[in-house]
Structure 1
Amino acid sequence: MRVIFAGTPEFAAVALARIQAAGHTVTLVLTQPDRPAGRGMKLQASAVKQLALQHGIAVAQPRSLRLDGKYPDDSLAAQQAIHSAQADVMVVVAYGLILPQWVLDAPRLGCLNIHASLLPRWRGAAPIHRAIEAGDTQTGVTIMQMDAGLDTGAMLHIGTLPIAPDDTTASLHDRLADLGGGLILQVLVQAQAGLLTPLAQPEVGVTYAHKIDKAEAAVDWSQAAEVVARRVRAFNPFPGATGSLAGEVVKLWQAHVQTQVHDAQPGTVLSADAQGVRIACGQHVLCVTQLQRAGGKRLDAADFLRGFPLKPGQCLDAVVT
């Protein structure tokens, strides 16, 4: 198959590597423009671009694909590149740009999307985060025939994965990326043989995984410890759940629930030792075992407390400013 690949982060790079290794001809890669990153804020290529360059694949980085949009020169150049690629199919994975109808129609077999949820649950930008945050016990990957809607296209293949009680977005991301890379190869084989059987998404069970906002990082200690623990896992590695003590922001990276009853004000430190920092929540107790000061490293509780001692009775602010 002649494939155009559109994607940006590491999740997408896994699929690109699998497609390339399977012997398909990737004629063009579309990815987001280089962005400033790191302490020096130097321009950095996306994971997909780096992989494409390693394999000598042509790369286009339009800021928009809308021919009537803000960047018409970008869009026209991308249109020429896409048509010149003469692709059978376009595979789209966490690309970051809306595909107008002319893009959807360009490849002979249309555009296939690898989406990290069991559609129609968790359409949108952050399905892995939201599944963990909501307490879902399973998730998966849906390969979808793209249409003009937001993750509304017909389903072509579905694979499921359990969500473990200690899964973070980081750990679940890696397993889903591997699953998606395998599923897209199966769908490409079916597409080449003309055996695709699209199935319309159910009209019931639709939920939206809205983009993660940094403002969501602040922990609300009045919530149940079970809810807070899920948010800690969902926001690892980004943006990191946060509390605030005496004006200093502390990130919480690992935590679990202790079901003891207490009558303390939510946010109060009940105890702190090498086994964890125990913080009162609206219901039950959150035991935080990995923390990080601003500008510091992630540390287990024992090492963190050596440099940032916490005492019972101290209270973490509910809102970080």
Structure 2
Amino acid sequence: MLAACGQTTSTDNSGASQESSNENASDALAITDPQVPDIDLSAYDISQSKLGTVNSDGLREITAIADLTPHSELLEYVEPALEAAGLKVVLVATAADATTLEKTQNGEIDFNFYAHWPYVNDQNETNGFTIVNAGDIHVEPIRAYSDKYTSADEIQDGDVVAIPNDATNEYRALKILEDQGLITLDDSTDSTLSATVDSIVSYEKQIEIVELDSAQIIPTKDDFDFFITNTNKALEAGITSNVLFSESGENNPFANIIAVAQGNENDPAILAVVAALRSDAVKKFIEEKYNGAVIPAE
């Protein structure tokens, strides 16, 4: 079992947080299929890694922060293959928070696995970080859910929808509203991958859009006719709301990544983690376990 310590806070790709306990994390990390995945990491000489330390079992230990679902679950799945290659990933937290990227930047952890590149790049520019993308792993397509409706065709004038209020995920939410023919966005938003309600040039359906902190959307979902959130939030919360429509995974720029401090992207330990998570075995695991709520990156 991947090690995790302390009480953690769960975030979506935007960095918004909510409380989560280590006990719940352990339950959710349990993989029902004990079969060791068929992943060949023989091309990576972990003994040449400059990261982490070698433990008493002779395994090189590196540290990471990863969100619970699906990130930590995927790391749990590839753990036997990594250990066979001489590598152990120690999760210092099973969820990210606002300090995770700073900890990656200053070397307190060796990698993080919770966010997509547009978010990380935005944080680089805002904070002066130089974190880089070591590899795209999976897409969590943002989705519209409802406890009131079973189809997008039922959406009416006057309906109220909650959407995340951080720059990248708000764009994603508004974009799928546009794709459904409910609104039209300014053309410039597609090049910047950023939008707010001020970017709406017309409403084809007279809906009211409420911008909320991502962590508040699911707890307050009963206040809205439908709501838009990241699928990892829906998976972690175990919601059974109807899916009205979803972002496409094809050519999606919002793949969740293995993020590392600049200069560590070619370290053998990081290359092995990325290779394991991008393996055919993991792609199959994702497709079978998450039923479209998580999609392997291209």
Q: TM-score, normalised by structure 2?
A: 0.27
Pick the structure with greater CA Rg. Answer: 1
Higher helix proportion, which one?
2
Select the structure with the greater relative contact order (CA < 8 A; seq sep ≥ 6). 2
Q: TM-score, normalised by structure 1?
A: 0.26
